[in-house]
Structure 1
Amino acid sequence: MKLGGAPVMWWAGFERVRWTGEGGEPTWFETFPGKAKRGFCPACGTRVAAVDYDIPEIGINVPALDDTSAADLTPVNASFRENAVHWMFPVPDTTQHSPIG
């Protein structure tokens, strides 16, 4: 899904992750040297994870999960609000933004 030319992503933070499915652990690329890396599915190339080195959690792209119905996967922040599509409900800005952007 795209939003104003940028991909729409829904992230959740986890302290521990067990990788299952085709390909196992993502292929990692350091996208911001010394600051962050992104993980991609080794089978299809889909972006599935992110690690900001100053944050103790791993960010998982929620649509990559088998089950997205858990109540704790409710959005608490939205980036690029000015590009939001009209059919998405507004998400309150209750968290701090990543220092990377």
Structure 2
Amino acid sequence: MWWAGFERVTWTGEGGEPTWFETFPGRAKRGFCPTCGTRVAAVDSDIPETGINVPALDDTSTADLVPTNASFRENAVHWMPRCPTPS
């Protein structure tokens, strides 16, 4: 998954606000599209931003959405942009 953090989020999709599921009660929750069930967002109590799964955005072409780090690089799909290896 390719995530970006946002301080404020306005939900504009067909279903509106995601359906939230508390993965760790009081600490973390994940948001799913109410129409198709795709995971689209995450909120963690120790991070002040809402994490959005970037492919769920309408426009992913802006320069500020270029990946800066990757987990599980060996499992990356070939069609996602490669991000630099951390030094």
Q: TM-score, normalised by structure 1?
A: 0.75
Q: Secondary structure at the match of 1:37?
A: strand
Alignment partners' CA distance in 1, 2:79 and 2:31: 29
- Deviation, 1:86, is 6.4
> Which runs of no fewer than 5 residues in structure 2 stay unpaired?
none
What is the distance in 1 between the residues matched to 2:2 and 2:71? 10
Give the whole-Å Cα distance in 2 for the aligned partners of 1:28 and 1:34: 13
Deviates more, 1:13-22 or 1:29-38: 29-38
Q: Deviations over 1:63-97 (max 9, x none)?
A: 10000000000001111234345676343337xxx
Aligned match of 1:40? 32
Query: Which residue of the partner structure matches residue 11 of structure 1?
Result: 3
Match of residue 55, structure 1, among 47, 52, 55: 47
* Cα distance, 1:35–1:21 mapped onto 2, change above 3 Å: same
What value does the CA root-mean-square deviation take over the aligned residues? 1.9
> 27-36 vs 16-25, which deviates more?
27-36
Structure 1 letter corresponding to 2:84: V
What TM-score, normalized by structure 2, do the two folds share? 0.86
Stretches of structure 1 lacking an aligned partner (at least 5 in a row): 1-8, 95-101
Q: Percent identity?
A: 84
What is the aligned length?
86
